[in-house]
Amino acid sequence: MTSQGDSRNESTADQRLALMPVSVATIGFGAPLKVDLYVQTTPSARPVLYRSAAFPADRAEVQRLTAQGIKTIYISSQQYETYQDHLRTHLQEFLADNSLPPSVRVAFLSERAREVLRAAFESRDASKLVRKAMSISQDIVKLVSASGLVTADMYSMLRHDWCMFAHSFHVAAYTAILAREWGLDDRETLQSISLAALLHDIGKLRLPARVFAKADPLNEVEQKLMRQHPQFGFERLCHRDDLNYDQLMVVYQHHERVDGTGYPVGLSGEEIHPWARLLAVTNTFDARTTTRPYQPAVPVMDGLDLLHRQADTALDREMVACWTKCMTA
Ligand SMILES: [Fe+2]
Protein backbone atom coordinates (compact mmCIF):
# COMPACT_ATOMS: atom_id res chain seq x y z
CA MET A 1 0.00 0.00 0.00
CA THR A 2 1.33 3.45 -0.87
CA SER A 3 0.94 6.60 1.11
CA GLN A 4 0.59 9.85 -0.81
CA GLY A 5 0.66 13.47 0.22
CA ASP A 6 2.53 13.04 3.48
CA SER A 7 5.21 10.66 4.56
CA ARG A 8 3.92 7.69 6.55
CA ASN A 9 6.59 8.30 9.22
CA GLU A 10 5.32 11.78 9.89
CA SER A 11 1.70 10.97 9.50
CA THR A 12 0.72 8.60 12.27
CA ALA A 13 -2.68 9.86 13.40
CA ASP A 14 -2.64 12.00 16.48
CA GLN A 15 -3.65 9.75 19.36
CA ARG A 16 -6.14 12.40 20.48
CA LEU A 17 -7.72 12.66 17.04
CA ALA A 18 -11.25 11.25 16.96
CA LEU A 19 -11.69 9.20 13.80
CA MET A 20 -15.02 8.28 12.20
CA PRO A 21 -15.27 5.03 10.21
CA VAL A 22 -16.92 5.31 6.78
CA SER A 23 -17.35 2.94 3.87
CA VAL A 24 -14.44 2.94 1.40
CA ALA A 25 -16.98 2.75 -1.44
CA THR A 26 -18.13 6.32 -0.68
CA ILE A 27 -14.83 8.16 -1.10
CA GLY A 28 -13.80 8.01 -4.75
CA PHE A 29 -16.85 9.08 -6.75
CA GLY A 30 -18.24 12.41 -7.91
CA ALA A 31 -16.38 15.65 -7.20
CA PRO A 32 -13.07 15.21 -5.35
CA LEU A 33 -13.63 14.64 -1.64
CA LYS A 34 -11.15 16.88 0.16
CA VAL A 35 -10.63 15.21 3.53
CA ASP A 36 -7.69 13.38 5.07
CA LEU A 37 -8.13 9.60 4.88
CA TYR A 38 -6.80 7.13 7.45
CA VAL A 39 -6.55 3.36 7.17
CA GLN A 40 -6.08 0.59 9.68
CA THR A 41 -3.18 -1.66 8.68
CA THR A 42 -4.14 -4.45 11.11
CA PRO A 43 -7.46 -4.99 12.93
CA SER A 44 -6.16 -3.70 16.28
CA ALA A 45 -3.86 -0.96 14.98
CA ARG A 46 -4.54 2.74 15.31
CA PRO A 47 -5.45 4.05 11.81
CA VAL A 48 -2.64 6.01 10.10
CA LEU A 49 -2.84 8.77 7.51
CA TYR A 50 -3.15 7.27 4.03
CA ARG A 51 -3.88 10.30 1.83
CA SER A 52 -4.09 13.93 2.75
CA ALA A 53 -6.97 16.15 1.64
CA ALA A 54 -4.71 17.65 -1.04
CA PHE A 55 -4.68 14.29 -2.89
CA PRO A 56 -8.31 13.09 -3.06
CA ALA A 57 -8.86 9.40 -3.79
CA ASP A 58 -10.38 8.44 -7.13
CA ARG A 59 -12.35 5.41 -8.30
CA ALA A 60 -9.17 3.43 -9.05
CA GLU A 61 -7.96 4.06 -5.51
CA VAL A 62 -11.22 2.67 -4.12
CA GLN A 63 -10.74 -0.42 -6.25
CA ARG A 64 -7.17 -0.85 -4.97
CA LEU A 65 -8.25 -0.58 -1.34
CA THR A 66 -11.18 -2.91 -1.89
CA ALA A 67 -8.87 -5.45 -3.56
CA GLN A 68 -6.76 -5.36 -0.39
CA GLY A 69 -9.84 -6.26 1.64
CA ILE A 70 -10.17 -2.77 3.15
CA LYS A 71 -13.86 -1.89 3.45
CA THR A 72 -13.64 0.86 6.05
CA ILE A 73 -11.66 4.07 5.95
CA TYR A 74 -11.43 6.73 8.65
CA ILE A 75 -12.01 10.48 8.60
CA SER A 76 -11.29 12.88 11.46
CA SER A 77 -14.35 14.10 13.33
CA GLN A 78 -13.39 17.68 12.36
CA GLN A 79 -13.71 16.78 8.67
CA TYR A 80 -16.75 14.53 9.04
CA GLU A 81 -19.12 17.43 8.24
CA THR A 82 -17.23 18.01 4.96
CA TYR A 83 -17.72 14.32 4.14
CA GLN A 84 -21.43 14.49 4.96
CA ASP A 85 -21.79 17.68 2.89
CA HIS A 86 -20.26 15.79 -0.03
CA LEU A 87 -22.82 12.98 0.39
CA ARG A 88 -25.70 15.43 0.85
CA THR A 89 -24.74 17.33 -2.31
CA HIS A 90 -24.23 14.27 -4.50
CA LEU A 91 -26.58 11.62 -3.07
CA GLN A 92 -29.38 11.94 -5.64
CA GLU A 93 -26.84 12.03 -8.47
CA PHE A 94 -25.16 8.86 -7.08
CA LEU A 95 -28.48 7.06 -6.60
CA ALA A 96 -29.48 7.82 -10.21
CA ASP A 97 -26.07 6.90 -11.70
CA ASN A 98 -26.54 3.55 -13.41
CA SER A 99 -22.79 3.27 -14.02
CA LEU A 100 -22.32 2.76 -10.26
CA PRO A 101 -22.94 -0.76 -8.99
CA PRO A 102 -26.08 -0.88 -6.78
CA SER A 103 -23.87 -2.01 -3.89
CA VAL A 104 -21.90 1.27 -4.08
CA ARG A 105 -25.15 3.22 -4.11
CA VAL A 106 -26.17 1.29 -0.99
CA ALA A 107 -22.97 2.47 0.71
CA PHE A 108 -23.72 6.12 -0.10
CA LEU A 109 -27.27 5.94 1.16
CA SER A 110 -26.29 3.95 4.24
CA GLU A 111 -23.65 6.50 5.33
CA ARG A 112 -25.95 9.44 4.65
CA ALA A 113 -29.00 7.85 6.30
CA ARG A 114 -26.98 6.94 9.36
CA GLU A 115 -26.07 10.59 9.95
CA VAL A 116 -29.52 11.97 9.11
CA LEU A 117 -31.21 9.47 11.43
CA ARG A 118 -28.65 10.10 14.19
CA ALA A 119 -29.38 13.83 14.14
CA ALA A 120 -33.13 13.28 13.94
CA PHE A 121 -33.23 10.66 16.75
CA GLU A 122 -30.99 12.77 18.96
CA SER A 123 -33.21 15.82 18.49
CA ARG A 124 -36.00 13.70 20.05
CA ASP A 125 -38.32 15.60 17.71
CA ALA A 126 -40.84 13.14 16.24
CA SER A 127 -41.94 15.49 13.44
CA LYS A 128 -38.37 16.02 12.31
CA LEU A 129 -37.71 12.28 12.46
CA VAL A 130 -40.80 11.44 10.39
CA ARG A 131 -39.87 14.10 7.80
CA LYS A 132 -36.28 12.85 7.44
CA ALA A 133 -37.41 9.21 7.44
CA MET A 134 -39.87 9.93 4.59
CA SER A 135 -37.07 11.12 2.37
CA ILE A 136 -34.84 8.15 3.28
CA SER A 137 -37.65 5.67 2.64
CA GLN A 138 -38.05 7.10 -0.87
CA ASP A 139 -34.33 6.62 -1.47
CA ILE A 140 -34.47 3.06 -0.10
CA VAL A 141 -37.19 2.18 -2.59
CA LYS A 142 -35.16 3.71 -5.45
CA LEU A 143 -32.34 1.37 -4.49
CA VAL A 144 -34.47 -1.68 -3.91
CA SER A 145 -36.10 -1.12 -7.31
CA ALA A 146 -32.73 -0.69 -9.07
CA SER A 147 -32.03 -3.52 -11.44
CA GLY A 148 -29.08 -5.62 -10.41
CA LEU A 149 -29.39 -5.12 -6.66
CA VAL A 150 -28.47 -8.38 -4.97
CA THR A 151 -29.50 -8.57 -1.33
CA ALA A 152 -26.26 -10.23 -0.28
CA ASP A 153 -24.26 -7.41 -1.93
CA MET A 154 -26.33 -4.87 -0.10
CA TYR A 155 -25.73 -6.71 3.16
CA SER A 156 -21.98 -6.68 2.58
CA MET A 157 -21.97 -2.88 2.14
CA LEU A 158 -23.60 -2.14 5.51
CA ARG A 159 -21.58 -1.42 8.63
CA HIS A 160 -22.82 -3.97 11.10
CA ASP A 161 -22.06 -2.14 14.30
CA TRP A 162 -24.82 -1.54 16.77
CA CYS A 163 -26.50 1.80 17.01
CA MET A 164 -30.17 2.56 16.71
CA PHE A 165 -29.75 4.71 13.59
CA ALA A 166 -27.85 2.04 11.67
CA HIS A 167 -30.28 -0.64 12.89
CA SER A 168 -33.30 1.37 11.72
CA PHE A 169 -31.76 1.84 8.28
CA HIS A 170 -30.77 -1.85 7.95
CA VAL A 171 -34.23 -3.03 8.97
CA ALA A 172 -35.94 -0.56 6.62
CA ALA A 173 -33.84 -1.67 3.65
CA TYR A 174 -34.29 -5.37 4.48
CA THR A 175 -38.03 -4.97 5.02
CA ALA A 176 -38.48 -3.20 1.66
CA ILE A 177 -36.67 -6.11 -0.04
CA LEU A 178 -38.64 -8.76 1.86
CA ALA A 179 -41.95 -6.95 1.22
CA ARG A 180 -41.24 -6.81 -2.50
CA GLU A 181 -40.41 -10.52 -2.59
CA TRP A 182 -43.57 -11.16 -0.54
CA GLY A 183 -45.59 -9.52 -3.31
CA LEU A 184 -46.13 -6.00 -1.93
CA ASP A 185 -44.38 -4.58 -4.91
CA ASP A 186 -45.94 -1.24 -5.79
CA ARG A 187 -43.71 1.75 -5.07
CA GLU A 188 -46.12 3.50 -2.72
CA THR A 189 -46.54 0.42 -0.54
CA LEU A 190 -42.80 -0.18 -0.40
CA GLN A 191 -42.17 3.44 0.64
CA SER A 192 -44.89 3.17 3.24
CA ILE A 193 -43.51 -0.01 4.79
CA SER A 194 -39.89 1.16 4.74
CA LEU A 195 -40.91 4.43 6.44
CA ALA A 196 -42.70 2.41 9.13
CA ALA A 197 -39.56 0.30 9.52
CA LEU A 198 -37.38 3.40 9.95
CA LEU A 199 -39.71 4.53 12.74
CA HIS A 200 -40.40 1.15 14.37
CA ASP A 201 -38.36 1.84 17.52
CA ILE A 202 -39.32 5.51 17.94
CA GLY A 203 -40.93 4.60 21.28
CA LYS A 204 -37.45 4.05 22.71
CA LEU A 205 -37.05 7.83 22.74
CA ARG A 206 -39.39 7.88 25.75
CA LEU A 207 -37.16 5.52 27.75
CA PRO A 208 -34.68 6.96 30.25
CA ALA A 209 -31.19 7.38 28.77
CA ARG A 210 -29.78 4.76 31.19
CA VAL A 211 -32.03 2.11 29.57
CA PHE A 212 -32.02 3.47 26.03
CA ALA A 213 -28.22 3.58 25.74
CA LYS A 214 -27.22 0.76 28.10
CA ALA A 215 -24.44 -1.40 26.69
CA ASP A 216 -24.94 -4.31 29.12
CA PRO A 217 -27.95 -6.66 29.13
CA LEU A 218 -30.98 -5.10 30.84
CA ASN A 219 -32.09 -6.15 34.33
CA GLU A 220 -35.68 -7.24 35.02
CA VAL A 221 -37.00 -3.75 35.81
CA GLU A 222 -35.32 -2.26 32.74
CA GLN A 223 -36.64 -5.07 30.55
CA LYS A 224 -40.17 -4.33 31.72
CA LEU A 225 -39.67 -0.70 30.73
CA MET A 226 -38.13 -1.66 27.39
CA ARG A 227 -41.15 -3.85 26.60
CA GLN A 228 -43.31 -0.72 26.66
CA HIS A 229 -41.54 0.89 23.69
CA PRO A 230 -44.01 -0.38 21.02
CA GLN A 231 -46.87 1.18 23.01
CA PHE A 232 -44.89 4.41 23.52
CA GLY A 233 -44.14 4.56 19.78
CA PHE A 234 -47.78 4.03 18.87
CA GLU A 235 -48.88 6.77 21.28
CA ARG A 236 -46.31 9.15 19.85
CA LEU A 237 -47.40 8.66 16.24
CA CYS A 238 -51.10 7.74 16.33
CA HIS A 239 -52.38 11.33 16.03
CA ARG A 240 -50.36 12.13 12.91
CA ASP A 241 -52.31 12.40 9.68
CA ASP A 242 -49.24 11.64 7.51
CA LEU A 243 -49.00 8.03 8.73
CA ASN A 244 -51.51 5.28 8.00
CA TYR A 245 -53.00 2.40 10.01
CA ASP A 246 -50.65 -0.22 8.53
CA GLN A 247 -47.59 1.83 9.52
CA LEU A 248 -48.89 2.32 13.05
CA MET A 249 -49.41 -1.45 13.36
CA VAL A 250 -45.73 -2.00 12.46
CA VAL A 251 -44.71 0.29 15.32
CA TYR A 252 -47.23 -1.22 17.77
CA GLN A 253 -46.91 -4.92 16.92
CA HIS A 254 -43.29 -5.49 15.85
CA HIS A 255 -42.53 -7.47 19.04
CA GLU A 256 -45.65 -9.65 18.86
CA ARG A 257 -44.84 -13.31 18.22
CA VAL A 258 -46.83 -15.80 16.14
CA ASP A 259 -47.16 -18.20 19.10
CA GLY A 260 -48.65 -15.44 21.26
CA THR A 261 -45.61 -14.95 23.54
CA GLY A 262 -44.76 -11.44 22.33
CA TYR A 263 -45.73 -8.01 23.60
CA PRO A 264 -47.41 -5.60 24.20
CA VAL A 265 -50.68 -7.54 23.68
CA GLY A 266 -49.74 -11.20 23.11
CA LEU A 267 -51.47 -11.49 19.72
CA SER A 268 -50.84 -14.65 17.72
CA GLY A 269 -50.62 -15.81 14.09
CA GLU A 270 -52.64 -13.75 11.65
CA GLU A 271 -53.97 -11.51 14.41
CA ILE A 272 -50.62 -9.76 13.95
CA HIS A 273 -50.56 -7.33 11.03
CA PRO A 274 -48.61 -8.86 8.12
CA TRP A 275 -46.26 -5.86 7.90
CA ALA A 276 -45.38 -6.32 11.58
CA ARG A 277 -44.69 -10.02 10.92
CA LEU A 278 -42.41 -9.08 8.02
CA LEU A 279 -40.52 -6.62 10.19
CA ALA A 280 -40.20 -9.17 13.02
CA VAL A 281 -38.15 -11.32 10.61
CA THR A 282 -35.80 -8.56 9.42
CA ASN A 283 -35.51 -7.07 12.91
CA THR A 284 -34.46 -10.42 14.37
CA PHE A 285 -32.03 -11.01 11.50
CA ASP A 286 -30.34 -7.63 11.90
CA ALA A 287 -30.14 -7.97 15.68
CA ARG A 288 -28.08 -11.15 15.35
CA THR A 289 -25.92 -10.22 12.37
CA THR A 290 -24.81 -6.95 13.96
CA THR A 291 -22.15 -6.58 16.62
CA ARG A 292 -23.58 -5.35 19.91
CA PRO A 293 -21.64 -4.29 22.98
CA TYR A 294 -22.54 -7.52 24.79
CA GLN A 295 -22.85 -9.89 21.85
CA PRO A 296 -20.73 -10.50 18.72
CA ALA A 297 -22.40 -10.68 15.31
CA VAL A 298 -23.02 -14.09 13.79
CA PRO A 299 -22.38 -14.85 10.08
CA VAL A 300 -25.27 -14.61 7.62
CA MET A 301 -25.94 -18.35 7.42
CA ASP A 302 -26.03 -18.65 11.22
CA GLY A 303 -28.42 -15.68 11.31
CA LEU A 304 -30.70 -17.42 8.81
CA ASP A 305 -30.45 -20.66 10.79
CA LEU A 306 -31.56 -18.81 13.91
CA LEU A 307 -34.60 -17.47 12.04
CA HIS A 308 -35.53 -20.99 10.96
CA ARG A 309 -35.31 -22.21 14.54
CA GLN A 310 -37.75 -19.46 15.54
CA ALA A 311 -40.17 -20.14 12.67
CA ASP A 312 -43.68 -20.97 13.97
CA THR A 313 -42.78 -19.96 17.53
CA ALA A 314 -41.67 -16.36 17.18
CA LEU A 315 -41.69 -15.78 13.45
CA ASP A 316 -43.92 -16.49 10.45
CA ARG A 317 -42.47 -19.58 8.74
CA GLU A 318 -43.30 -18.52 5.18
CA MET A 319 -41.83 -15.08 5.72
CA VAL A 320 -38.61 -16.63 7.07
CA ALA A 321 -38.43 -18.80 3.94
CA CYS A 322 -38.98 -15.71 1.78
CA TRP A 323 -36.17 -13.79 3.52
CA THR A 324 -33.85 -16.79 3.17
CA LYS A 325 -34.59 -16.76 -0.55
CA CYS A 326 -33.70 -13.02 -0.72
CA MET A 327 -30.40 -13.52 1.09
CA THR A 328 -29.29 -16.62 -0.79
CA ALA A 329 -30.51 -15.80 -4.32
FE1 LIG B 1 -38.32 -2.71 18.99
- pLDDT by residue (tens digit) across 50-62? 999 999 998 898 8
Kindly report which listed range (4-13, 93-102, 150-159, 303-312) carries the lowest average pLDDT score. Answer: 4-13
- Residues 56 and 133 grouped into a single domain: no
261: in domain: yes
Give residue 255 CA to ligand 1 midpoint distance, Å.
Answer: 6
Instruction: Give the 3-state secondary structure of residue 44.
Output: coil
> Residue 74 above 90 pLDDT?
yes
Q: What is the average per-residue pLDDT within 195-204? A: 95
Give residue 91 CA to ligand 1 midpoint distance, Å.
Answer: 29
* Total residues found in the chain within this entry: 329
- Residues 249 and 115 grouped into a single domain: yes
Residue-wise pLDDT tens digits, 1-13: 334 433 343 344 4
What single string gives the DSSP state of each residue in 262-320? -SSS---GGGS-HHHHHHHHHHHHHHHSSBBTTB----HHHHHHHHHHHBTTTB-HHHH
95: in domain: no
- Residues 35 and 163 grouped into a single domain: no
- Residues 50 and 109 grouped into a single domain: no
Give residue 88 CA to ligand 1 midpoint distance, Å.
Answer: 29
pLDDT at 16: 58
Q: Are 191 and 141 in contact (CB under 8 A)?
A: yes
Q: Are 319 and 178 in contact (CB under 8 A)?
A: yes
Give residue 27 CA to ligand 1 midpoint distance, Å.
Answer: 33
Residue-wise pLDDT tens digits, 296-308: 889 999 999 999 9
Ion ligand 1: residues, CB within 5 A, are 201
Mean pLDDT score across all residues of the chain: 90
Q: What is the average per-residue pLDDT within 34-38? A: 94
CATH of the domain at 145: 1.10.3210.10
End residue of a domain, out of 77, 92, 115 = 77
Q: Are 137 and 187 in contact (CB under 8 A)?
A: no
Count how many domains the chain has.
2
pLDDT at 218: 87
- Residues 174 and 305 grouped into a single domain: yes
Residue range(s) defining the domain that contains residue 70: 1-77
- Residues 168 and 32 grouped into a single domain: no
35: in domain: yes
213-235 burial code (b ≥16 CB/10 A, e <16): ebeeeeeeebeebbebbbbbbbe
For residues 316 and 303, what is the distance between their CA atoms, to the nearest angstrom? 16
88: in domain: no
92: in domain: no
Tell me the pTM. 0.89
- Residues 146 and 233 grouped into a single domain: yes
- Residues 70 and 105 grouped into a single domain: no
Residue 181 makes CB contacts below 8 A (sequence gap 6+) with 322, 323, 325, 326
250: in domain: yes
Q: Are 201 and 286 in contact (CB under 8 A)?
A: no
Give residue 145 CA to ligand 1 midpoint distance, Å.
Answer: 26
Q: What is the average per-residue pLDDT within 304-328? A: 97
- Residues 35 and 174 grouped into a single domain: no
For residues 41 and 200, what is the distance between their CA atoms, to the nearest angstrom? 38
126: in domain: yes
Q: Are 305 and 133 in contact (CB under 8 A)?
A: no
Amino acid at 174: Y
89: in domain: no
